[in-house]
């Protein structure tokens, strides 16, 4: 998970004059969206660095950190990478989120969470590689909650602030479930958009002020073209299983 350097945009930012009307079934998803002219768009500044290193993390020796990384089989690349956290309390998460973590029975961060939480909370662009079942989803959702809480409240017609793109319906359902479980603790709403379900119902859900949207690329583009969703306020973007989306030929849509 990482925050993109964007901000509120005009309604015409991603739509053309057709507004998605009259699409034929032969049209490629997103074919009627035009590429933004960034030179004519004023991007508002926003905060994305929320991480303050816990004293326990600061007090650990370099040897302790190195032993932890080796034992957890964590490989890190990058400049000025934050140290991993050993406990959830060291990440500086909101008290209500910490309470929910306790209720879920999460004792300690998994390796991807130990290193990923401080990186994402610092507003860094992160590429995380981990096995299925490693806790990767929470590693980008927990920082998303912190990011969202710091942004101005959504107005009617705005949203989402956090967009999670996933390759399949099944993964969308899984991420949506985890997101709802965590977001409810801090009053953040979630919507999921994917194929195989009635568009009408998903369209109705989009009219609520949803801070988090979990979607497959094709369904997101459908709703962008029809004007049922916009990305004016999207400042936290996640590409979950990005390699799989590229393998499935979604690169043009993602771009």
Residues 6+ apart with CB under 8 A from 202: 191, 192, 193, 219, 223
Q: How confident is the model at residue 1 (pLDDT cuts 50, 70, 90)?
A: very low
Residues 125 and 159 in one domain: no
Q: How confident is the model at residue 89 (pLDDT cuts 50, 70, 90)?
A: very high
Tokens of 143: 């920082």
Residues 117 and 67 in one domain: yes
Containing domain of residue 115, as a range? Answer: 55-129
User: Does the residue 143 lie in any domain?
Assistant: no
Stated pTM of the model: 0.85
Please count the structural domains in the chain.
2
Residues 88 and 116 in one domain: yes
Residues 191 and 249 in one domain: yes
Residues 16 and 103 in one domain: no
Residues 122 and 155 in one domain: no
Q: Is 230 exposed, middle or buried (0-12, 13-18, 19+ CB in 10 A)?
A: buried
User: Does the residue 137 lie in any domain?
Assistant: no
Q: Average pLDDT of 36-40?
A: 77
Residue with the larger pLDDT of the pair 117 and 34: 117
Residues 198 and 241 in one domain: yes
| CATH code for position 23 | 3.40.50.300
User: Does the residue 198 lie in any domain?
Assistant: yes
> Over 50: is that where the pLDDT of 210 sits?
yes
């Amino acid at each position: 998970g990482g925050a993109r350097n964007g901000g509120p945009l005009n309604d015409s930012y991603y739509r053309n004059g057709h507004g998605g009307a009259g699409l034929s079934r032969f049209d490629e998803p997103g074919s009627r969206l035009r590429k933004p002219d960034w030179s004519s768009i004023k991007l508002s500044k926003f905060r994305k660095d929320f991480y303050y290193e816990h004293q326990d993390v600061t007090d650990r020796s370099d040897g302790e950190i190195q032993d932890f990384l080796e034992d957890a089989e964590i490989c890190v690349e990058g400049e000025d990478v934050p140290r991993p956290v050993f406990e959830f309390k060291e990440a500086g998460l909101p008290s209500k989120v910490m309470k929910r973590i306790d209720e879920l029975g999460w004792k300690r961060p998994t390796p991807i969470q130990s290193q990923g939480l401080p990186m994402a909370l610092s507003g860094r662009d992160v590429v995380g590689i981990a096995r299925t079942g490693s806790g990767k989803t929470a590693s980008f959702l927990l920082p998303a909650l912190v990011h969202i809480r710091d942004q101005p409240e959504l107005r009617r017609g705005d949203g989402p602030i956090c967009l999670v793109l996933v390759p399949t319906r099944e993964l969308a359902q899984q991420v949506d479930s985890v997101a709802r479980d965590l977001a409810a603790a801090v009053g953040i709403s979630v919507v999921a958009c994917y194929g195989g379900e009635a568009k009408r119902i998903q369209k109705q859900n989009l009219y609520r002020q949803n801070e988090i949207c979990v979607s497959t690329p094709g369904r997101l583009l459908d709703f962008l073209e029809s004007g049922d969703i916009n990305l004016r306020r999207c400042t936290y973007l996640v590409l979950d299983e990005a390699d799989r989306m590229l393998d499935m030929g979604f690169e043009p849509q993602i771009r």
